[in-house]
Structure 1
Amino acid sequence: MASNEEHYTLARPEFDKPVKILIVVAPYYRAIADDLIAGAKAEIEACGGTWELIEVPGALEVPTAIGIAGRMANFDGYVALGCVIRGETTHYETVCNDSSRGITLLGLQGLCIGNGILTVETYEQARVRAATDGQDKGGGAAAAALHLVALARNWGASRQGVGFVPARDEYQIAGGAKGPTTA
């Protein structure tokens, strides 16, 4: 069982400027959500970061809320939290797959997101994964977001002299002579 295995954990990232993280949680299973939130908050604060918390109705709404925040707010990263427990219908697969796909697509667009939406068979599995003194998946999701923020800041530094330079009204020819642009 994976919970009994030892796992490697990256060292906590360090930041020279404050980090602001949005925690988006679907609190359908309140006790599980509260543990996930506690773990995420603790990890963000351990890096000297600040956080804001919003709640959405369910796991399917988590990526939408993150997408809205990504367009309209000013956060460095995002933590997606919630819990989906298998039931008697295929709704479980839809919610698990679509929430994960939505988060992945937002990440591929450049948002720094740690996915802490639990997808489990039983409530007991969720409880163990969410517990801050257990697997602490909320803290792990926050750590993932923080590591991505650190990468984005590292790679987002000045790129002078590298890459595409947009066209201008005038251009310079070798040797400094200017030539007009033609339409």
Structure 2
Amino acid sequence: MAASETHYTLPLPTFKAPVKLLIVVAPYYKDITDQLVAGAQGVAAACGATAEVIVVPGALEVPSAIALAERMAQFDGYVALGCVIRGETTHYDTVCNDSSRAITMLGLQGAAIGNGILTVENRGQAEVRAEVAGQNKGGGAAAAALHLIALSRKWATDTKGIGFRS
């Protein structure tokens, strides 16, 4: 079982300039997503980042809200949070696949996004993954976004030069 394994976690990045995160949460299972948000906020605070939280109706709306913010607001990165628990229909597969694919596409277009939308078989798995004192997947998603922001800032300041080399 993965819970009994030891995993390497990158140290949190440091920043010279302020970082502003947008945490987008779909609170269908509010007790679980409250833990995800708390974890994300804790990691953001540990890096000195400010974090604004917005709520959307469901996991499928998370990428749309991030896309709107990327076009219309001033955030350095995004944390996508929610929980999808397998049910009796294929709706689970649609929500998991489409929300993940949309978040990936936004990332490939340059948005710094940490994906913390849990996709689990049952409530017990969700609770273990969401708990701040446990696996803290909300904090992990915030850390992922912060690492991507750090990379984008690093590469934004690197110059490759133009013209001929001497």
Q: TM-score range by the shorter chain?
A: over 0.9
Partner Cα distance (1:158, 1:71) in 2: 24
Partner of 2:43: 43
Partner Cα distance (1:102, 1:66) in 2: 10
**How well do the aligned residues superpose, as a CA RMSD in angstroms?**
1.0
Equivalent residue letter for 1:86: R
Q: Which of structures 1 and 2 has the bigger CA Rg?
A: 1
Query: In the TM superposition, what is the alpha-carbon distance from 1:101 to its structure 2 partner?
Result: 0.1
CA offset digits 1:9-53 (Å, max 9, x no partner): 001100000100000000000000000000000000000000100
Superposed counterparts of 1:92-131, under 5 Å: 92-131=92-131
Equivalent residue letter for 1:78: Y
Larger relative contact order (C-alpha < 8 A, sep ≥ 6)? 2
Q: Which runs of 5+ in 2 are unaligned?
A: none
Partner of 2:155: 155
Query: In the TM superposition, what is the alpha-carbon distance from 1:143 to its structure 2 partner?
Result: 0.2
Superposed counterparts of 1:14-29, under 5 Å: 14-29=14-29
- Normalised by the length of structure 2, the TM-score is 0.96
- Normalised by the length of structure 1, the TM-score is 0.87
Percent of counterpart pairs with the same letter? 69
Partner of 2:145: 145
Equivalent residue letter for 2:92: Y
Partner of 1:135: 135
Does 2:33 align with 1:33? yes
Partner Cα distance (1:87, 1:160) in 2: 51
Equivalent residue letter for 1:28: Y
List, as ranges, runs of 4+ consecutive aligned residues in structure 1 with deviation greater than 3 Å. none
Q: Choose 150-159 or 35-44, whichever is displaced more.
A: 150-159
Query: In the TM superposition, what is the alpha-carbon distance from 1:159 to its structure 2 partner?
Result: 2.4
Partner Cα distance (2:99, 2:158) in 1: 34
SS in 2 for 1:100: helix
Determine which structure has the larger helix proportion and give its number: 2
Partner Cα distance (2:3, 2:26) in 1: 24
Superposed counterparts of 1:53-64, under 5 Å: 53-64=53-64
Partner Cα distance (2:162, 2:4) in 1: 47
Partner Cα distance (2:21, 2:150) in 1: 12
CA offset digits 1:71-105 (Å, max 9, x no partner): 00000000000000000000000000000000000
Partner of 1:76: 76
SS in 1 for 2:80: strand
